[in-house]
Chain A
Amino acid sequence: MNSRERFQAVLAGEIPDMVPVIPVVDGFFAPGLTGRPSDECWQDNDCLAGALALALERFGMDGVVAEMGLGPAPEVLGCPVQIEGNEVPLVTDRLVETRADLEKITVPDPWSGGKMEPVERLVALAGGDSVILGAVRSPFEYAATVRGLLDFMGDFYRDPELVRDLIAACLPATLAVGRALAEAGVDAVVVKDSFASTSMISPDHYREFAYPAEREAVAGLEGIPVILHVCRNSLPILPLMAATGAAVLEIDSPVDLRQAREAAGDAVVLKGNIDAVSVIEKGTAADVDAAVSAAIDAARGGKFILSTGDSVPLSAPEENLAALVASGRRYGKYQGGDA
């Protein structure tokens, strides 16, 4: 099996030859492989696509996460953005101060200004055998971005109607970017809903605000598999995350994989959940090996993709990423239906 066949077998509920290894290698880590500063690479479509292709080649992983030029979140929403040094582009000011500003949120054209070029180039470079995922922010995360995170979360009690209206106004952005990624040829769309984490909001608020938008996003992206990512703790909301219809749930490191499987049910694929910071960035190759062994052991029974829980940081040692893949291959071979 090649990497894409392996990935597609997992999505189809089949047991592949081995556990696919698709860490969250995206625009945070990959530019470092080029030797150029991240801010330069982010503004050079060839560099961004080339960096991710280089990651695939150097580490032999099954897939990477493609990035739109300048990143999907800021660019599509018209928020002011700062790109500096080795940081991914960051929104520096909010778009929505009051309800009247809702009209400033517009449906973006993801194809404008060549922003989809890095994705198309990566698909052309490496999409034959490798898995190319494309990342988009959820309506909930876009809403937090345009409103400012703390004001957004303050609105949960102060003005819940504004929260709902903000999220509704941002849904078209998620769908437009997600559909463009699919059109550009990615194998699946990662809907990142970082702030929907129960490390930040209660399960009740997740159910009230984030979950309905996730469902709508997944439904609106029909025809392309969706990987739903929530940062940090997601255990209390995994049953609802599974009910969104997402094909894969990306689980971060604080969640126990066995408990995750129990909570999410047997139908959905789980992707995770090696700690990107304490293990991959700051640990040793031996730490990586132990974490991978434990994760694969916890995820027996298939429907599993070995991954980091979140984006691999720029300063992660290359040997740890190599160890992640090597250990994934070592422990991840399916024999008689079990890895």
Chain B
Amino acid sequence: MALLEDFRQAVIAGDADGAAGIAAGIASEGKASADEVIASLSAAMEEVGGKYETGEYFIPEMLRSAAAVERALQVLDPYLFERRQEYAGVVVMGTVRGDIHNIGKDIIISALRASGYEVHDLGVNVSADKFVARVKEVDADLLLLSAFTTSTRQALVDVLSALEAAGLRDRVKVVSGGAAHSEELAQEVGVDAFASDVKGTLAICRELLGGKHLPGSGGETGC
């Protein structure tokens, strides 16, 4: 459909006005189904991610596209609300206790939100208790723990112990990431997965949520 193709291209080009305009038409006239709209957004952000990976796009271009998605979603929210509730996962993310780096976390959160996820950003230097409380409050599907410094191993262990003590460990998948972490450390502390970059995080979220990925994407997008 030409309209959805225009929508996709507007997001890829980071044309927030264009994307919002098309979104307004979709919302008011019902020109595309919610599934088609979400699939189009997801495909667009996957292409943006691909352009970043290949060096065609850089961080400002990623942010520009994320802003276009945000604008479009503001317009489309009432139209898509039920669908988004059905398909998008709920993510809680923060930088663990003892670590105050936020750049990597913020990039991941932008990418997740752009992909239609409900993301609860707890900020930096977050205690285990605060992670657990928010996971419980929002019934999170995923808990993403960002850790940049090398001294954060214990903080990861503390979060996992607190989840266990609260009886939530089986209800939420935990992913760790950040410059100080590795696959080995992730296995050692017992998180469900490790991710080292934006693309890897998106892929892991998709994998961990299994059938909860966004529709119409052939399983290639959704987190």
A is bound by B = yes
Which residues of A does B touch, CB under 8 Å?
82, 84-87, 90, 92, 149-150, 153-154, 156-158, 198, 200-202, 205, 313-315
Q: Which residue of A lies closest to B62 (CB)?
A: A153
A157: chain B residues at CB < 8 Å are 14, 60, 63-64
B63: chain A residues at CB < 8 Å are 150, 153-154, 157
Q: Which 9 A-B pairs have the closest CB atoms?
A: A156-B60, A154-B63, A153-B60, A157-B64, A202-B58, A201-B58, A200-B59, A153-B59, A150-B106
* A90-B101, A154-B64 known; A198-B58 Cβ under 8 A: yes
B201 → chain A, closest Cβ, in Å? 16
| Interface residue? B165 (CB, 8 A) | no
CA–CA, A149 and B101, complex, Å: 12
Give me 8 other A-B pairs in contact (C-beta within 8 A), A84-B100, A150-B59, A201-B59 excluded.
A82-B100, A86-B150, A87-B100, A87-B149, A90-B100, A149-B106, A156-B64, A315-B150
The answer on a CB contact under 8 Å between B60 and A205 is: yes
22 CB contacts below 8 A, A to B, read A85-B98, A85-B151, A86-B149, A86-B151, A87-B100, A87-B149, A90-B100, A92-B100, A150-B59, A150-B103, A150-B107, A153-B59, A154-B60, A154-B63, A154-B64, A154-B67, A156-B60, A201-B58, A201-B59, A202-B60, A202-B61, A313-B150
A314: chain B residues at CB < 8 Å are 150
B150: chain A residues at CB < 8 Å are 86, 313-315
Q: Which residue of B lies closest to A149 (CB)?
A: B103
The answer on a CB contact under 8 Å between A205 and B58 is: yes
* A82-B100, A85-B98, A205-B60 known; A158-B67 Cβ under 8 A: yes
B106: chain A residues at CB < 8 Å are 149-150
CA–CA, A250 and B64, complex, Å: 30
CA–CA, A74 and B61, complex, Å: 27
- B145-164: CB near A (< 8 Å → 1, else 0) gives 00001110000000000000
Q: Which residue of B lies closest to A152 (CB)?
A: B60
CA–CA, A205 and B58, complex, Å: 10
Q: Which residue of B lies closest to A158 (CB)?
A: B67
A202: chain B residues at CB < 8 Å are 58, 60-61
B149: chain A residues at CB < 8 Å are 85-87
Interface residues on B, range: 20 to 34
Q: Which residue of A lies closest to B66 (CB)?
A: A154
| Interface residue? B110 (CB, 8 A) | yes
A90: chain B residues at CB < 8 Å are 100-101
* A156-B60, A202-B58 known; A84-B98 Cβ under 8 A: yes
CA–CA, A325 and B93, complex, Å: 42
Q: Which residue of A lies closest to B150 (CB)?
A: A315
CA–CA, A86 and B100, complex, Å: 12
Q: Which residue of B lies closest to A92 (CB)?
A: B100
B110: chain A residues at CB < 8 Å are 150
CA–CA, A205 and B57, complex, Å: 11
Instruction: Name the interface residues of B52-84: CB closer than 8 Å to any CB of A.
Output: 58-61, 63-64, 67
Chain A CB within 10 Å — which of B60, B106, B149 has the most?
Answer: B60
CA–CA, A314 and B180, complex, Å: 12
Instruction: Name the interface residues of B80-133: CB closer than 8 Å to any CB of A.
Output: 98, 100-101, 103, 106-107, 110, 124-125
CA–CA, A149 and B59, complex, Å: 10
The answer on a CB contact under 8 Å between B151 and A201 is: no
The answer on a CB contact under 8 Å between A201 and B60 is: yes
B67: chain A residues at CB < 8 Å are 154, 158
The answer on a CB contact under 8 Å between A200 and B64 is: no
